[in-house]
A and B are shown apart, each in its own frame.
Chain A
């Protein structure tokens, strides 16, 4: 509770600060007075974040990151002298109806000049609205759907850009890493079997299909395949019974739900098998880390957002402002806002939306997370190599440690805490 109080107070302070600077500029504009941003119309940025839904942890972190960026931009004189004014709206669980009403409110009632979202609706329900209203929009999730929607006709989505690369890399990075570990003798799997757990959710299905294809091409066998209708699982015994009767080397869950993934871990640890446990995305959620604690030591996952070192200036700044570490969305949303700022500056006029959208398409920005260069065919940033890294993580002491690519690795692969005990059982 105390953490919540601190973060709320900090949020109010930062949001208040950002709004105050913008308000002074705005008032000065209307009254024709001097002062910061005097005579300049404020640039209104809509922040659409799931602040109270199932994954509110990342929503709150995302909002705070955008507010932090806006605070810095305003302190440095705004965008081309225009103060930036944040307008925050809660998208709860990112449902299509909620997303569309929030976006309409931001555009029609609040008159925003650009929108930042940690992610929109998986059906891309907001796309037609922002495109029709010509509002530059930067999102950071549901990249597989975004890619599928934009690729056939990128010009039809000229105002919509992403800050995370293609999810296709989820299907290849982890198998590639496992293969390297095996060749180097750093990981000796008990067999080449995989228990694959997915759910009826586009993100989960997309990643599961990618991993299944790559692993089977490498000669691995999907020995247990469990596809669930929803994220709400009260009991994993039936799946774990199959795992325990024929232990696989890898257990891969693409459930992407912190509660279900934690319950899977908890019930797995009651009688573990010598298997690596891969849980997609959940280890990034603050809720998961709080609930699992050190039980999660050794869990692996891949995430299309790079972690930054403990002493990275941004991380230090975020901690100073909010009293906690940022989740990946607490970092990438800062870059999203900075991308918007740079595009508005490159356009020469933050209110010339067409020019801002074109500037986003041509952006080359070295941000906290990596280098953002937009692929014109997909409107996603280029991934891997010199661009946005796609690291393999392993959790230790409630911290996600980067293992691969080796250029960004913080430590070497270690067997999870349950492994040796399960092996000798």
Chain B
């Protein structure tokens, strides 16, 4: 019993790590721009495929491939803003149009991947094989890497937002765009790199997802749905709430899988979600308006 609980918590932390990375970029963009970026799923897929390309064609170097993912997704985030989001901002029905345009971007990304790499599953070679056994609990090294890598990025993002000048500008625009403009913050610029940072986080989430699962052109769809769910749970726009929400969901999901069955894990999460929306519509860390 104890080993099952411990194993479930470990799996919960692994799932939570991936969910947190997938959701944090989405919530950041919502917090600053008040838009739902549905291209996020496409960027998760791109991250996984970029690392696969890096490893397949750059001699299996994880570090270079990882840097490649970060660089390319970050740059493509700027492209997304300049080519899809910014032209629609400030126009009538911009929220709906941006939602549709980003969803279309995700579909385009998926289809470009099909054209470029085909639809067959692909797998990223393991970063590390083997496992660590502590009594009756076994943790494989892949899972340990995920549990270690995700917090680095999450803490890094929090540090950036709290301590660095451009991060503080992001928070300022998120809190009051007009006020930020009065003190000389270029909100267009902030929007641009907020989307780029969101894309980067999605790319990193794609790498971790690709490491334990398999690559397919539509692989970003499920994490996007989970990320939306977590974003609402944590409080729309709250980065801290999203991170806590992701780990809570991860652990509940894993406990449900272990003790009730895999079939019931998702229904349980959705029942919880509905209850939370009824009792606390602003989410765990959201501010009541």
Contacts and interface: CB of A to CB of B under 8 A. Distances in A.
Contacts, number: 77
Given A228-B262, A234-B15, A238-B11, A56 B214 contact: no
Contacts of A56: 118-120
A228 B121 contact: no
A228 B266 CA distance: 10
Given A226-B261, A232-B213, 4 more contacts: A226-B262, A238-B258, A259-B216, A291-B214
Contacts of A241: 4, 7, 258
B263 interface: yes
B257 interface: yes
A287 B11 contact: no
Interface in B1-48: 4, 7-8, 11, 14-15, 18
Interface string A247-271: 0000000000011001100000011
Contacts of B175: none
B131 A235 contact: no
B261 A92 contact: no
Given A51-B119, A54-B119, A54-B121, A234 B213 contact: yes
B230 interface: no
A287 B216 CA distance: 12
Interface string B115-157: 0001111010000000100000010100000000000000000
B204 interface: no
A251 to B, nearest CB: 15
B103 interface: no
A239 interface: yes
A389 B7 CA distance: 44
Q: Please tell me the size bucket of the interface on B.
A: 20 to 34
B213 A238 contact: no
A152 interface: no
B114 interface: yes
A242 to B, nearest CB: 9
Contacts of B14: 235
Interface string A262-286: 1100000011000000000000001
Contacts of B254: 235, 238
A153 interface: no
B212 interface: yes
B222 interface: yes
B262 A263 contact: no
A234 B262 contact: no
Interface string B215-246: 01110001000000000000000000000000
A235 B214 contact: no
B216 A52 contact: no
25 contacts: A50-B119, A54-B119, A54-B121, A54-B218, A56-B118, A56-B119, A226-B262, A226-B263, A229-B266, A232-B213, A234-B18, A234-B209, A234-B212, A235-B212, A235-B254, A237-B8, A238-B11, A238-B257, A241-B4, A259-B121, A270-B131, A270-B140, A271-B138, A286-B120, A291-B214
Contacts of A50: 119
A56 B140 CA distance: 31
Contacts of A228: 262-263
Nearest to B131: A270
A270 B138 contact: yes
Given A228-B262, A238-B8, A241-B7, A53 B119 contact: yes
Interface in B257-281: 257-258, 261-263, 266
Contact of B262 (A4, A57, A239, A262): A239
Contacts of B123: 291
Given A226-B262, A270-B140, A259 B214 contact: yes
B121 A287 contact: yes
A139 B119 CA distance: 22
Q: Which of B7, B8, B121 has the most CB of A within 10 A?
A: B121
Interface in A210-249: 226-229, 232-235, 237-239, 241
Contact of B118 (A52, A234, A270): A52
